[in-house]
């Protein structure tokens, strides 16, 4: 065997092997590698897009959170304002109602005082009239001598005649006239 021929045959068989690999095996390997590279590139792009979407979502979430906080603060402020206005309105209404009740009570007290004074005035006048009639029935002053004598009204032969012109009572008794104060002025 010739060494050169062996070397040439190995070179030819290696070249045929390379050509068969290049023609039939290499395209399948390159397709698989390109498919894998494409999958990896798509995965990396999807990962990057996911990161971008996450960042955008975080920004949107922060913006929504800020907006929600501002809206909630506005709602709370509106509620506080409404509460304070309601409280102030209730205070004003309560104060007005209290003033109305106090005014009504004062008016009622004044009416009660006026009624009590009128009743007291009537009672004093009745007592004065009763006392005067009792005194008149029991005690008579004889004008000429000024002595008192106890008599019954039926026993008096000539009862005195009373006339009133100027706030005093003039009693005429058998030709004598004596001025006495009026009972209604004594009652006051």
Rounded Cα distance between 121 and 126, Å, is 8
Work out the number of other CB atoms within 10 angstroms of the CB of residue 141: 14
Taking Cα atoms as reference points, which of 166, 121, 176, 111 lies closest to residue 146? 176
Is this prediction's pTM over 0.95? Answer: no
Q: What is the DSSP string of 31-46?
A: HHHHHHHHHHHHHHHH
The mean pLDDT of the chain is: 80
pLDDT class for 184, splitting at 50, 70, 90?
A: very low
The answer to whether residue 58 scores a pLDDT higher than 90 is yes
pLDDT tens for 123-165 read 888 888 888 777 665 555 555 455 555 544 444 444 454 544 5
């Amino acid at each position: 065997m010739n060494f050169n021929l062996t070397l040439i045959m190995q070179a030819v068989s290696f070249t045929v092997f390379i050509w068969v690999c290049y023609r039939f095996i290499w395209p399948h390997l390159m397709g698989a590698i390109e498919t894998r590279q494409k999958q990896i590139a798509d995965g990396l792009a999807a990962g990057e897009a996911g990161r971008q979407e996450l960042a955008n979502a975080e920004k949107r979430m922060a913006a929504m959170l800020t907006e929600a906080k501002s809206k909630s603060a506005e709602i709370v402020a509106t509620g506080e304002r409404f509460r304070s206005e309601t409280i102030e309105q209730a205070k004003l209404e309560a104060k007005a109602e209290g003033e109305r009740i106090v005014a009504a009570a004062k008016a009622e007290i004044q009416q009660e005082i006026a009624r009590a004074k009128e009743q007291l005035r009537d009672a004093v006048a009745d007592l004065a009239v009763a006392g005067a009639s009792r005194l008149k029935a029991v005690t008579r002053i004889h004008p000429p001598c000024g002595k008192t004598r106890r008599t019954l009204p039926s026993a008096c032969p000539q009862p005195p005649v009373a006339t009133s012109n100027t706030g005093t009572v003039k009693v005429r008794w058998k030709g004598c006239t004596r001025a006495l104060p009026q009972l209604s002025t004594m009652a006051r």
